[in-house]
């Protein structure tokens, strides 16, 4: 039986320890190459392109991958430091059979990871990952592995095609000196984002774009936007954008320094596309974590929000199923199906800037119709995890909360996928009422699911962008 290696966003860990020890990485590279060759009509010598973020362990991981990929019978090309969506775009449009992005996204620098990208530019499906894991479980180390370092063919010049791709997104709407602040999280966008936005005519104020191998995401980027908020106000910028370490997500800041997260970006882009007659079926996709305020505001605008599970690959699958062109996550992954089947932070920022330039309004005005509702999240320790519907008292408590919030809020009760926790999330217009409902469900869960200890503190959110 194979051991699961891939998580929700590829392989993650601490370099030098399983699953990111040298032997496992080499065998993973060989298994990926073997899987490509074994596919129906698979190429005799698959071509794999690889990029990495700015962590100091990235080049080492890349060398181990090169050993395995080449021993597995495939060609390995490196584009050096590049955003994950850049690797996806180059894979899809450069005639490669697969792509590899060495990154741990928004995680701190000691972590790293490996993301597998298919020939279409999409992240590998779970079926593909399982086949690779099965190969790892049954195949030994390929002969010759470990005897010499992998020969990494450098092809950094290919990134120019990604830069051109980004510049084309702006269309005919010039930025005409618009002052734009960007926080690159000392990550993979540090060189490209200022270059592209400057090329489009923006007056770019750049923060946290001096990677040293260990400062990626450190008090910066989309998970720490405080410095960007202050700089936007101090420099009188029209707008700001904060990327994460590998550039696949972005959040925005308006001229007053207020945050506009992925929900806000989805709202303003959806409304702009709908007004232009370019929003198929007047619908978009977002995950169960998007605020009820987004659903309500879109409904008022005549747009339907279709919810799905978390993860940008899940979002894209639902977009395909419903033939929709826009989807994303509250965290800032935004997918435009006409561009890529995955999130791209720089591309999203350019799309937002294009809307600002075309409509000649500020970001705050574009999200004025969106009110983010107060949210309370309670994590309840549990010792068992039966279906909620199979626990009568708890199911009844959830039902009462749903009835009380009907049409004005939302209840989401689910088990954690990684911890022995029940997550109780409630959104509504009255913060105190929401807090009381969450406490009631959490108390019933504690009694019904036999977990000891006190109910953890509430985690609350709910600010109105714009």
Residues carrying an active site annotation: 105
Integer Cα distance of 366 and 355 in angstroms: 9
Contact yes or no for 240/253 (Cβ under 8 A): yes
Q: Which DSSP state fits 113?
A: E
DSSP H helices, 170-311, are 192-199, 226-234, 262-275, 292-300
According to the 3-state scheme, what is the secondary structure of 9-78?
CEEEECCCCCCCCHHHHHHHHHHHHHHHHHCCCCCCCCEEEEEECCCCCHHHHHHHHHHHHHHCCCEEEE
Nearest partner of 86 among 124, 130, 52, 137, judged by Cα: 52
**Strands laid side by side in the 259-260 sheet:** 203-207, 179-183, 239-243, 250-253, 259-260
C-alpha to C-alpha distance for 223 and 181, rounded to whole angstroms: 16
Alpha carbon of 184 to those of 109, 223, 258, 331: distances in Å?
Answer: 14, 11, 18, 16
Q: How far is residue 359's CA from residue 133's CA, in Å, rounded to a whole number?
A: 49
> How far is the C-alpha of 378 from the C-alpha of 12, rounded, in Å?
27
Q: Alpha-carbon distance 272 to 365, whole Å?
A: 12
The DSSP element (H or E) to which 287 belongs, if any, is: strand 283-287
Task: Give the CA-trace dihedral at 225, 121, 278, 352, to 10 degrees.
Answer: 20
d(CA 98, CA 47): 7
């Amino acid at each position: 039986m194979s051991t699961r290696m891939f998580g929700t966003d590829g392989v993650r860990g601490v370099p030098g320890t399983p699953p990111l020890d040298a032997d496992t990485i080499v065998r993973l590279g060989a298994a990926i190459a073997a899987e490509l060759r074994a596919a129906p009509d698979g190429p005799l010598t698959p071509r794999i392109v690889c990029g990495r973020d700015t962590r100091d362990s990235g080049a080492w991981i890349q060398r181990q991958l090169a050993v395995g990929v080449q021993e597995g019978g495939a060609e390995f090309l490196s584009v050096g430091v590049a955003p994950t969506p850049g690797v996806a775009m180059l894979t899809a449009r450069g005639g490669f059979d697969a792509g590899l992005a060495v990154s741990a996204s928004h995680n701190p620098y000691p972590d790293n990871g490996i993301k597998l990208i298919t020939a279409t530019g999409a992240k590998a499906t779970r079926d593909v990952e399982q086949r690779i894991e099965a190969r790892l479980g049954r195949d030994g180390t390929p002969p010759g592995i470990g005897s010499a370092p992998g020969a990494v063919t450098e092809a950094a010049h290919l990134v120019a095609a990604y830069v051109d791709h980004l510049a084309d997104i702006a269309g005919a709407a010039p930025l005409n000196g618009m002052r734009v602040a960007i926080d690159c999280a000392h990550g993979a966008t540090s060189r490209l984002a200022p270059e592209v936005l400057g090329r489009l005519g923006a007056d770019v104020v750049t923060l946290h774009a001096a990677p040293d191998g260990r400062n990626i995401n450190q008090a910066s980027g989309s998970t720490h936007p405080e410095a960007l908020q202050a700089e936007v106000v101090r420099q009188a910028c029209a707008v700001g954008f904060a990327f994460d370490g590998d550039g696949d997500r972005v959040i925005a800041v308006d001229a007053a320094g207020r945050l506009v997260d992925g929900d806000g970006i989805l709202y303003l882009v959806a409304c702009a596309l709908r007004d232009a007659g370019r929003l198929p079926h007047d619908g978009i996709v977002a995950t169960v974590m998007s605020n009820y305020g987004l659903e309500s505001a879109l409904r008022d605008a005549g747009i339907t929000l279709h919810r799905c599970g978390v993860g940008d690959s899940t979002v894209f699958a639902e977009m395909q199923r419903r033939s929709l062109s826009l989807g994303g996550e509250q965290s800032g992954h935004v997918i435009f199906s006409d561009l890529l089947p995955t999130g791209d932070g720089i591309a999203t920022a350019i799309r937002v800037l294009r809307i600002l330039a075309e409509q000649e309004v500020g970001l705050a005005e574009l999200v004025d119709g969106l009110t983010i509702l107060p949210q309370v999240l309670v994590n309840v320790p549990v010792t068992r995890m039966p279906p909620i519907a199979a626990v009568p008292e708890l199911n009844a408590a959830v039902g009462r909360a749903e009835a009380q919030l009907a049409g004005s809020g939302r209840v989401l009760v689910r088990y954690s996928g990684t911890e022995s926790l029940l997550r109780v999330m409630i959104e509504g217009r009255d913060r105190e009422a929401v807090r009381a409902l969450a406490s009631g469900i959490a108390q019933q869960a504690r009694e019904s699911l036999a977990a000891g200890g006190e109910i953890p503190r509430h985690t609350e959110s709910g600010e109105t962008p714009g």
